[in-house]
Homo-oligomer: A and B are copies of this chain.
Amino acid sequence: AQPAPVVAPISAEQQRNVERLRNAALESDLAWDIVEGLVTDVGPRLAASEAEARAREWSAAMLRRQGFSNVRIEPFTMPFWDAVREEASIVSPSRQPMVIAALGGSAPTPEGGLEAEVIRFESLAALEAATSAQVQGRIVFIDERMTRTQDGSGYGPAVAKRGGCASRAQARGAAACIIRSVGTDTQRVAHQGGSVRQMPLGTSLPVAALSPADADVLGRLAQGGAVRVNLNIQVEVRDEAPSGNVIAEIRGRERPEEIVLLAAHLDSWDLGQGAVDDGAGVAIITAAAKLIRDLPRRPRRTIRILLAGAEENGVFGGREYGRVHGSETHVVAAESDFGAGRIYSVSTLFNEDALQYARAIQRQLAPLGVNLGNNTTGGGADVDAIRRTGAAIVDLNQDGSLYFDVHHTPNDTLDAIDPEALRQNVAAWAVFAYLVADSDWVLTPPAPPAE
């Protein structure tokens, strides 16, 4: 018989506190109130916009009100991009409007739009196999679907066309690129998202996503003969615009220099409210930390909340956090940026010895329906810079079956959040963060993972 896996013991005080956190979280409306407040008082908050600045002020005030320490805004600047007009229509064989969203970083079209014949491809790979003679002067249309999965693994293959279409199409002389939205829904909405991160603005093509129903129509027409489309994208850009990270802490009672980093991002795309992406994450980590703050005594280590700015259009906040704080000791970093679906497993990136503590944490999460995942997790975009410094990583994996129905769409609104699942998230985050912060365990992997 195999030896039973070793599970590190936790103290009686810790056991009491874990139970208190679980119970309190499952009855708390705090996370709901936070995300409801954010979408009501601020609404969408595009990276480096005036609304994102208001979101920082709103968050800092909220975090102070919740009693956190060292609440501060750490400003930085970055390029600003916004679509002020995004319209498309089929003009022949007959005229009808389409629902589109300009992709982040898209170049503008001429005023009034550009009109060209459409060439349809089944995939990005099919575009890559095409010649300039086929594509020259045309609007490339990549009509590829995304697969629905619990873990969101359908996203990677489907999103390749969002980042890759403009450059491949441009290399073949195309006029513009439109893609079937990266999403799993059939609603009449287009999914936003970055396309050409950090490229000098204006050097790429106009690039946009189509709603599924419009992709259906365009696909049928394009398979039946010549189709012409007018695409009109006007953008507002600024080289240097203000963004910032919002930080708050529960100072550790014994090892305050050791940091447990809980991250989410404050910015959002602007067709929706940014409720699911990532108002939910902001609410989950804040509510979890607040429950820990309400315990009889603070944990040994410092818990730090990072509400990162400008994740969506290039992870500017996460990188800036790494630049400023990368030399501090991060015991573990974790990010909540996958909506508010129920957490079904906990994955880690710990050293071998510490796996027994990962098992101890999972045992305390088991009553919430959380299984033990792998020890090879990568963490989210906003903690990537900290992972590279050698920090341990925890991922609380959420059910993402419905996430890509609303992700980056006008339907990313408060009603897309299930209050019950939100509470389960808070409970899991509170238990995990408390157990890590109140321990002496060295969790960091033996060496920084390979890039």
Contacts and interface: CB of A to CB of B under 8 A. Distances in A.
A188 B409 contact: yes
A94 interface: yes
A99 B413 CA distance: 12
A188 B186 contact: no
B188 A94 contact: no
Contact of A410 (B43, B188, B272): B188
Contact of A95 (B51, B212, B216, B414): B51
Nearest to A99: B410
B94 A221 contact: no
A96 interface: yes
Number of copies: 2
A217 B39 contact: yes
A114 interface: no
Interface string A369-408: 0000000000000000000000000000000000000000
A415 B213 contact: yes
A39 B416 CA distance: 29
Nearest to A37: B220
A54 B415 CA distance: 39
A213 B406 CA distance: 13
Contacts of A50: 95
Contact of A216 (B41, B42, B188, B414): B414
A97 B410 CA distance: 11
Nearest to A214: B413
A82 to B, nearest CB: 12
Given A213-B273, A213-B415, A272-B188, A96 B42 contact: yes
B40 A221 contact: yes
A203 to B, nearest CB: 29
A94 B213 contact: no
A187 interface: yes
Nearest to A410: B188
Interface in A46-60: 50-51, 54
Interface in A17-56: 36, 39-44, 50-51, 54
A216 B37 CA distance: 12
B188 A414 contact: no
A34 to B, nearest CB: 14
A212 B415 contact: yes
Given A99-B410, A413-B213, A414-B213, A94 B186 contact: no
A94 B44 CA distance: 11
A217 B40 contact: yes
A143 to B, nearest CB: 14
B94 A41 contact: yes
A212 B413 CA distance: 10
A94 B217 contact: no
A276 to B, nearest CB: 12
A349 to B, nearest CB: 37
Interface in A206-230: 211-213, 216-217, 220-221
A189 interface: yes
A342 to B, nearest CB: 20
A362 interface: no
A93 B186 CA distance: 34
B188 A43 contact: no
Given A187-B187, A213-B413, 13 more contacts: A39-B217, A40-B221, A42-B96, A43-B90, A43-B217, A50-B95, A186-B413, A187-B411, A188-B410, A212-B415, A213-B273, A213-B411, A216-B414
Closest CB pairs A-B (n = 10): A43-B96, A213-B413, A188-B410, A186-B415, A188-B411, A40-B220, A40-B217, A188-B413, A187-B411, A187-B187
20 contacts: A36-B220, A40-B217, A40-B221, A41-B94, A43-B90, A43-B95, A43-B96, A51-B95, A51-B96, A54-B94, A97-B270, A187-B187, A188-B411, A188-B413, A189-B410, A211-B410, A212-B415, A213-B415, A216-B414, A217-B273
